[in-house]
């Protein structure tokens, strides 16, 4: 029996042991999904604190309840920092970050570090799946050489790329119901990869290669980044003309064909949309292609926090106040509403820009009680309580992340000035400025 046949058999029998590397917003829900379908799952993370929390049945991700983790523990889930245990896994799924460096170039250090940690423990009969978002060619260029260095050949091991499509906080879609893309290095790799994911995902979409799967993931995120850049630019024009861009987008969305509504905001956040387009722009240069459209959208979106500050400065000036003498509350620290993830959040950059201008800064976010440690920013801040007296004590409130938990009527009643970057307040009011 071939290695592929053996692996297909243990997958079909739910006897395959699945290793998930990276227990964040992608890896943890994927681990729980495999456990729910009867697989034994070993979760790997370099953070011993995370592993300890999970092994005690607790959760550090807001939308994943502790009860779900505790149940998974009782059904065969365990977290570890010991990569030598990867040798006992039949499938290894890599879900680690792929950020940008300071030059907006791909930083594959987490992927490479993971592969280097796994390499001594790889063996024949395993499937390796990369889920981290990256440029076309990464699976072939980074995974395959390490297999060769470990003395393994395709056919003995199988390699696929299957990009994550998580949307934290979206109650309409889950890991199980979001269609899963899979591209294999070979047809046999694809067959094994499909079998693994079809065991836990409702719909699996096969692609002709890992490169095609990598490019598809980038297209999905570039599509959003470019359209958000377009509507952000439209916002600038509409603002100069005295037109409410949110009214315009709502009206355009009534067309039942040919239009998809995207709404402007204070900038892009999260681990995907602000980052992934630049993975393609970087790789495209290798082929002599200049991705002007993508880069222009990136420039527009990255300029939005500064635009918000400019609107705030003007609004304060009209009220006889200087920003350097003002107390400013940023409403929402997370990059999107109803989650606690502040990665690449425009709120963080807005806080930094406010501090540079001399403002006395604060934030309020029910999902982020303490300002988290970050590579580029450090603020000794805790989330403010939104009492009527506290709201009124600030010279301005900047609405950056429109969590449903905020009492918007109370905020509007007590705030001296609101700079609304999300269009939450549609009716004109003297103390509300749209940005």
217-300: what CATH class?
A: mainly alpha
Q: Is pLDDT at 104 greater than 90 in this prediction?
A: no
Query: Percent of the chain having pLDDT more than 90?
Result: 89
> Which position among 89, 95, 189, 272 bears the catalytic label?
272
pLDDT digits (tens, 9 = 90+) for 250-288: 999 999 999 999 999 999 888 788 888 999 999 999 999
Query: Percent of the chain having pLDDT more than 70?
Result: 100
- What is the per-residue pLDDT for 240? 95
For 318, counting Cβ atoms within 10 Å of its Cβ (0-12 exposed, 13-18 middle, 19+ buried), the class is: exposed
Q: What is the rounded average pLDDT of the residues 366-371?
A: 95
- Grade residue 129 by pLDDT with cuts at 50, 70 and 90: very high
- What is the per-residue pLDDT for 271? 76
Could you tell me the two tokens for 368?
């982020």
Q: What residues contact 102, with CB distance under 8 A and at least 6 apart?
A: none
SS (H, E, C) the chain: CCHHHHHHHHHHCCCCEEEEECCCCCHHHHHHHHHHCCCEEEEECCCHHHHHHHHCCCCCCCCCCHHHHHHHHHHCEEEECCHHHHHHCCEEEECCCCCECCCCCECCHHHHHHHHHHHHHCCCCCEEEECCCCCCCHHHHHHHHHHHHCCCCECCEEEEECCCCCCCCCCCCCCCCCCEEEEECCHHHHHHHHHHHHCCCCCEEEECCHHHHHHHHHHHHHHHHHHHHHHHHHHHHHHHHCCCHHHHHHHHCCCCCCCCCCCCCCCCCCCCCCCHHHHHHHHHHHCCCCCHHHHHHHHHHHCHHHHHHHHHHHHHHHCCCCHHHCEEEEECCCCCCCCCCCCCCHHHHHHHHHHHCCCEEEEECCCCCECCCCCCCCCCCECCCCCHHHHHHCCEEEECCCCCCCCHHHHHHHCCCEEECCCCCCCCCCCEEEC
End-to-end Cα separation, the chain, in angstroms: 64
For residue 17, which of 86, 91, 76, 84 has the smallest C-alpha distance? 91
- What are the Cα distances from residue 5, in Å, to 16, 49, 156, 173, 253? 13, 38, 11, 33, 50
Q: Which residues of 328-354 are buried (b: 16+ CB within 10 A; e: fewer)?
A: bbbbbbbbbbbbbbbbbbbbbbbbbbb
Q: What is the rounded average pLDDT of the residues 10-30?
A: 96
Could you tell me the two tokens for 136?
């076309």
User: Thinking of the domain 304-434, which architecture would CATH place it in?
Assistant: 3-Layer(aba) Sandwich (3.40)
Note if 272 is an active site residue.
yes
pLDDT digits (tens, 9 = 90+) for 215-237: 999 999 999 999 999 999 999 99
- Asked, colleague to colleague, whether 3-207 and 304-434 share their fold, the answer is yes
- What is the per-residue pLDDT for 59? 94
Q: Taking the C-alpha atoms of 418, 419, 423 and 429 in order, what is their torsion angle to the nearest 10 degrees?
A: 50
Q: What residues contact 48, with CB distance under 8 A and at least 6 apart?
A: 81
How far apart are the C-alpha atoms of 230 and 262, rounded to whole Å? 9
Contact call for residues 117 and 19 (beta carbons, < 8 A): no
Q: Give the domain ranges of the chain.
A: 3-207, 217-300, 304-434
Q: Is pLDDT at 137 greater than 80 in this prediction?
A: yes
Lowest mean pLDDT of 57-66, 124-133, 250-259, name the range.
Answer: 57-66
Q: Is pLDDT at 375 greater than 80 in this prediction?
A: no
Q: What is the rounded average pLDDT of the residues 333-359?
A: 94
3-207: what CATH class?
A: alpha beta
pLDDT digits (tens, 9 = 90+) for 172-199: 899 999 999 999 999 999 999 999 999 9
Mean pLDDT of all residues in the chain? 95
- What is the per-residue pLDDT for 274? 84
Q: What is the rounded average pLDDT of the residues 335-340?
A: 92
The distance from CA 173 to its chain's CA centroid, rounded to whole angstroms, is: 15
- Grade residue 32 by pLDDT with cuts at 50, 70 and 90: very high
Q: Is pLDDT at 63 greater than 90 in this prediction?
A: no
Could you tell me the two tokens for 177?
């119901």
- What is the per-residue pLDDT for 154? 94
Q: What residues contact 326, with CB distance under 8 A and at least 6 apart?
A: 316, 359, 360, 395, 396
Largest CA distance in the chain: 81
Predicted TM-score (pTM) of the model is 0.92
């Amino acid at each position: 029996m071939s290695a592929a046949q053996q692996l297909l058999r243990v997958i079909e029998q739910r006897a395959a042991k699945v290793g998930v590397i990276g227990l964040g917003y992608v890896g943890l829900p994927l681990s729980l999904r495999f456990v729910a379908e009867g697989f034994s799952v070993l979760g790997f993370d370099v953070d011993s604190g995370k592993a300890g929390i999970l092994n005690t049945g607790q959760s550090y991700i807001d939308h994943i309840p502790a009860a779900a983790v505790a149940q998974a523990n009782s059904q065969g889930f365990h977290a570890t920092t010991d990569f030598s245990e990867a040798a006992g896994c039949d499938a290894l799924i890599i879900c680690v970050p792929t950020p940008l460096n300071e030059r907006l170039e791909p930083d594959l250090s987490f992927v490479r570090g993971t592969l280097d940690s796994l390499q001594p423990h790889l063996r024949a009969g395993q499937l390796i799946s990369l889920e981290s978002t990256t440029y076309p060619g990464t699976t072939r260029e980074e995974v395959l050489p390490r297999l060769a260095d470990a003395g393994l050949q395709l056919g003995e091991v199988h390699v696929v790329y299957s990009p994550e499509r998580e949307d934290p906080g979206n109650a309409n879609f889950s890991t199980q119901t979001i269609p899963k893309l899979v591209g294999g290095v070979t047809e046999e790799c694809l067959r094994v990869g499909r079998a693994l994911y079809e065991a836990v995902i409702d719909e699996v979409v096969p692609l002709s290669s890992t490169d095609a799967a990598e490019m598809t993931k980038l297209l999905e995120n570039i599509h959003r980044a470019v359209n958000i850049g377009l509507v952000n630019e439209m916002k600038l024009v509409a603002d100069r003309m005295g037109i409410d861009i949110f009214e315009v987008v709502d009206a355009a969305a009534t067309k039942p064909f040919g239009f998809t509504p995207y709404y402007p905001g204070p900038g892009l956040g999260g681990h995907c949309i602000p980052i992934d387009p630049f993975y393609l722009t970087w790789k495209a240069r290798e082929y002599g292609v200049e991705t002007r459209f993508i880069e222009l959208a990136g420039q527009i979106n990255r300029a939005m926090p500064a635009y918000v500050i400019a609107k705030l400065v003007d609004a304060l000036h009209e009220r006889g106040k200087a920003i350097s003498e003002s107390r400013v509350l940023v409403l929402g620290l997370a990059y999107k509403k109803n989650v606690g993830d502040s990665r690449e959040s425009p709120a963080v950059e807005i806080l930094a820009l406010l501090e540079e201008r001399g403002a006395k800064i604060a934030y309020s976010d029910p999902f982020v009680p303490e300002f988290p440690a970050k590579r580029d920013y450090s603020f000794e801040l805790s989330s403010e309580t939104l009492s009527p007296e506290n709201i009124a004590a600030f010279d301005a409130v900047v609405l950056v992340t429109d969590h449903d938990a905020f009492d918007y009527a109370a905020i509007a009643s007590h705030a001296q000035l609101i700079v609304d970057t999300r269009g939450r307040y549609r009716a004109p009011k003297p103390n509300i400025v749209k940005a």
